[in-house]
Amino acid sequence: MLAQLERPTLQAPSLRQALSDYGLGYFANGLIAFIFSATGPLAIILSVGTRGGLSQAELASWVFGVFFVNGLVTIAMSWRYKSPLGFAWTIPGTVLVGPALQHLSFAEVIGAFYATSLLVLVMGASGWVKRLMSALPMPIVMGMVAGVFLRFGLDLVRAMHSNLAIGAPMVIAFLALSASPALGKRVPPLIGSLLVGALAIGLLGQLDTGALGSFALAQPVVQAPVWSMAALVELVVPLAITVLVVQNGQGVAVLKGAKHEPPVNAIAVACGIGAFFSAAVGAVSTCLTGPSNALLTSSGKLERQYTAALTFGAFGVLFGLMAPTFTGLMLATPKEFIMVLGGLAMLRVLQGSFIGSFGSGKFTLGALVSLLVTVTDIGIFNIGAAFWGLVAGFIVSWLMEKHDFVALANKG
């Protein structure tokens, strides 16, 4: 089975080469990707866990797992393949766990996490995942990606409306640095926007000091799983779908759109391994993240973007170790600060997603349907809208764009 794993096409970089490939722009992309992960997605974990009756220690352990474990996976895979491969946790899977915690014990849910890790690992090692990805037309996949990322662009506009005093200086700084190549080389636009936003927050006194906690190190809680047929039936297959199809599908499409060649089967195996160690501390399954990889590849030279992923992974490891401290700091900033940063970083990526969806003239109706279904953000059977966007887009294209499938088959 391991014969199905892709071998690295590039030699892993030495420490000297990695330092040589580094640059402020790549650091900025890694930092912004980390800030994105440490705010909105983190809030989802806290919300789901609180409603599910988890203790503060269990919540802290969950946060430790998704950052520390996935940070290590990111560093290991990005270094070995010399390619930006940012791993995080399945956000739709986290949402899916919410209702389950209303009638299942946390130990039963953890048992489902372990079973999911095994299923994902086997699917990746068998090579089935790559065959599935190859069968999906790229415009339909990019339609789904555009639907997922569109909300970040809309959040940018909403943030400007709800907090113009923070949003306007950040956007102006970003546009000014982007319009001047000379200035942009010295100060990357996203870093400039971040610094201006932080200054505005300080001057306007919009930092919530009450949310700041004292320094504390994480203390992960290792729990024994309970094997429940009800939990396995309810969670394992939907969780695996969110990892392999929804989240990894986004991540792979984003990386291919950025001209990288992600090792699909090896990524799935890494997700299975990461999910196992995450489950050990009560954390949801590992996945290849779409939004963060979009941020990691949003600028810079192709062959140096892996250093942004190393930054992203390093911050994840540190955040995991000091989760209580960093969580308070991140949640102390206005939500509009993060919304603007994420929206600005996604502008070019969103543009590329639309070009990938409709620029070739192939599978355009399927891509449109995929985008529309994904944008609704309506889940069915506890499975997120991104999956159903792929399904709907594929069915519509299969029925109404058969000529494009014929052309694709002939090209293959």
Nearest to 320 by CA among 65, 54, 128, 129: 65
Round to whole Å and give the CA distance between 52 and 40.
Answer: 18
Round to whole Å and give the CA distance between 138 and 144.
Answer: 10
Report the b/e string of 153-179 with b at 16+ CB within 10 A: bebbebbbeebeebbebbbebbebbbe
- Domain spans of the chain, in order of start: 2-411
Report the b/e string of 218-231 with b at 16+ CB within 10 A: bebbebebeebeeb
Place of tokens 């942009």: 184
> Does the pLDDT at position 347 exceed 70?
yes
Structural element, H or E, at residue 286? strand 286-288
Round to whole Å and give the CA distance between 242 and 401.
Answer: 27
Q: What is the pLDDT of residues 7-48, one digit of tens each?
A: 888 889 999 999 999 998 899 899 888 887 876 677 678 777
**Secondary structure letter of residue 187 according to DSSP:** S
Q: What is the pTM of this model?
A: 0.73
**Secondary structure letter of residue 62 according to DSSP:** H
Most confident listed range (37-41, 93-97, 101-105, 285-289): 285-289
Round to whole Å and give the CA distance between 144 and 250.
Answer: 8
Return all residues near 177 (Cβ < 8 A) that are at least 6 apart: 183, 184, 187, 188, 189, 192, 193
Q: Cα 9 to the chain's mean position, in Å? A: 24
Looking at residue 223, what is its pLDDT?
Answer: 85
Mean pLDDT of 56-69: 90
Q: Which pair of structure tokens corresponds to residue 296?
A: 């990691």
How would residue 277 be classed by pLDDT, with cut points 50, 70 and 90?
very high
> Does the pLDDT at position 201 exceed 70?
yes
Percent over 90 (pLDDT), the chain: 34
Burial of 366 (0-12, 13-18, 19+ CB in 10 A): buried
> Does the pLDDT at position 258 exceed 70?
yes
Tally of residues, the chain = 412
Looking at residue 203, what is its pLDDT?
Answer: 87
**Secondary structure letter of residue 259 according to DSSP:** T
Round to whole Å and give the CA distance between 275 and 318.
Answer: 19
> Does the pLDDT at position 319 exceed 80?
yes
How would residue 326 be classed by pLDDT, with cut points 50, 70 and 90?
low
SS3 207: coil
Q: Based on C-alpha coordinates, what's the Rg of the chain?
A: 21
**Secondary structure letter of residue 332 according to DSSP:** T
**Secondary structure letter of residue 66 according to DSSP:** I
Burial of 340 (0-12, 13-18, 19+ CB in 10 A): buried
Return all residues near 73 (Cβ < 8 A) that are at least 6 apart: 87, 270, 273, 274, 286, 313
- Could you give the C-alpha distances from 109 to 159, 254, 288, in angstroms and in order? 36, 30, 22
Looking at residue 83, what is its pLDDT?
Answer: 94
